[in-house]
């Protein structure tokens, strides 16, 4: 499951850096859940050729992530958002309203940044 999530996030962030064919094949396999054989029939190539395209594409996506770290940074922002939200939730009744408001604003800013 973790690999599927990683593959999806990599594709979401770096799709624009792929060739049209890489993007199409990757999307058909990982997002539309087509089999290698189904994709091979669509493109009139062998299932092994599809597997090769997927392997090269994933290698490229991982290379982009190594260089840019967008997925890693997204994870770090999400973790920070969750921690701030938990602190705000746990201490809501005992906190000064200004502090609670600032925590809520920080969580909202993180959510906005992550949605871009």
Q: How confident is the model over 56-102, as pLDDT tens digits?
A: 999 999 999 999 999 998 888 888 888 887 877 777 777 667 777 77
Assess whether 61 and 76 both reside in one domain.
no
Assess whether 38 and 93 both reside in one domain.
no
Q: Which of 68, 51, 52, 49 is nearest to 9 (CA)?
A: 68
- Residue 116's pLDDT band, with cuts at 50, 70 and 90, is low
Q: For Cα atoms 74, 76, 79, give the angle at the middle one, nearest 5 degrees.
A: 110
Decide if pLDDT at 1 tops 60.
no
Assess whether 78 and 63 both reside in one domain.
no
pTM equals 0.72
Q: How many domains does the chain have?
A: 2
Contact of 22 with 60, CB cutoff 8 Å: yes
81 CB contacts (<8 Å, ≥6 apart)?
107, 110, 111, 114
Assess whether 16 and 29 both reside in one domain.
yes
CA–CA distance, 114 with 96 (Å, rounded to integer): 27
Assess whether 79 and 58 both reside in one domain.
no
- Residue 55's pLDDT band, with cuts at 50, 70 and 90, is very high
- In whole numbers, what is the pLDDT of the chain averaged over residues? 88
Assess whether 31 and 88 both reside in one domain.
no
* Residue range of the domain that includes 54: 2-68
């Amino acid at each position: 499951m973790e690999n599927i999530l990683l593959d999806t996030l990599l594709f979401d962030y770096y799709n624009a850096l792929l060739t049209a064919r890489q993007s199409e094949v990757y999307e058909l396999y990982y997002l539309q859940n087509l089999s290698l054989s189904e994709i091979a029939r669509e493109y009139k190539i062998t299932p092994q050729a599809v597997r090769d395209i997927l392997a090269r594409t994933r290698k490229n996506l991982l290379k982009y992530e190594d260089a840019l770290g967008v997925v890693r940074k997204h994870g770090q922002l999400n973790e920070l958002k969750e921690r701030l939200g938990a602190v705000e939730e746990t201490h809501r009744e005992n906190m000064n309203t200004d502090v609670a408001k600032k925590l809520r604003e920080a969580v909202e800013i993180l959510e906005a940044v992550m949605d871009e």
